[in-house]
Amino acid sequence: MVTSIHEPQTAAGPRIDRLAVIVHPSRNIDGPLHDLFGWAERRGVAVIQVPIEGQERLVAKPGEPGDCDLIVSIGGDGTMLAAIRVAVAADRPVLGVACGSLGVLTTISADALPESLDRFRRGDWSVRRLPALDVACDGIVDLSAFNDLVIVRAGIGQVRVVSRVDGILFSRLAGDGCIVSTPIGSSAYTMAAGGPLMAPETEAYVLTPLATHGGSRQSLVIGARSTLSLDVSSGIGGVRLEIDGQIIAGEPHVIAVSLRSAVATLVAFPDQEHSFARLRRRGLIVDSPRIAADDAREEGTGR
């Protein structure tokens, strides 16, 4: 099982008759939208907008993603997650355009959009496959997470979570809850909670506790072929389940999680910046102060 792979395209690029766009609900995206519509008009390509629940921003005529050749996400990683869900259901590739700093899921900066669309047409791109967490919660089995799922207390009181891997008890936690993330999702809430950062190609997923009331709180990296089960109970404040940042209705009790490979198709380019470089540039990965001091001293002396 491979969790994140790149497959170079060697044949001529796909024909593009229609593009679908998914946009950030509030961010300034006038520049990339202008470039997108200009590119499409010059090449006789239609552009439609995929309706997203709770999204009121209208930039193009609504349409169906299955009628399009490519889905373009314009925003950030949150917009990209919404686009991935739509693309998986329609079996279409996604090109992520970052309006702001490049995230982990977005592929290109806004000013590179016209060139990137040309490269897509020429076949000068790679297929990047992403995994998903298959989630069954209290008998509901059609849930999936591309970033993470979070069990978190909804008010006062503690959440209790009993975790088992392939039926073997791992831990019993009392506290704020826990996070289960894909390798790509490990750079988000998991990293912020002190969990491990996983390389995108890692064939595993990770369980990370949130703040606990004593006891051990180690993260656990789980093999791709193993199943994680979580038994959840809560105090008087209740507990909620979030999947990729969206609240799932109802309190969770019994959750089963497994990793499924190659679920989503992202458009990537061989020369694009690696996710580690993006995290370093954004200051989420920082060198030791000793190393930084050495670099500053060498730059100051010319050595």
Lowest mean pLDDT segment, chosen from 73-77, 145-149, 212-216 = 212-216
Average pLDDT over every residue of 169-197 = 95
pLDDT in tens, 251-300: 999 999 999 999 999 999 988 888 888 888 888 889 999 998 888 888 87
pLDDT score at 8: 54
Query: For the chain, what are the domain ranges?
Result: 5-124, 133-261
In this model, does residue 10 exceed pLDDT 50? Answer: no
Q: Are 35 and 113 in contact (CB under 8 A)?
A: yes
From residue 134, give the alpha-carbon distance in Å to each of 169, 291, 301: 20, 41, 55
Fold entry, domain 133-261: Tumour Suppressor Smad4 (2.60.200)
Q: Which residue has the tokens 């694009």?
A: 272
What residues are labeled active site? 77
Lowest mean pLDDT segment, chosen from 33-42, 55-64, 166-175, 230-239 = 55-64
Helices 30-42 and 113-122 pack at an angle, to 10 degrees, of 40
pLDDT score at 9: 56
pLDDT in tens, 86-131: 999 999 999 999 987 667 888 899 999 999 999 999 999 999 999 9
CATH number at 5-124 = 3.40.50.10330
Task: Return the percentage of the chain with pLDDT > 70, whole number.
Answer: 94
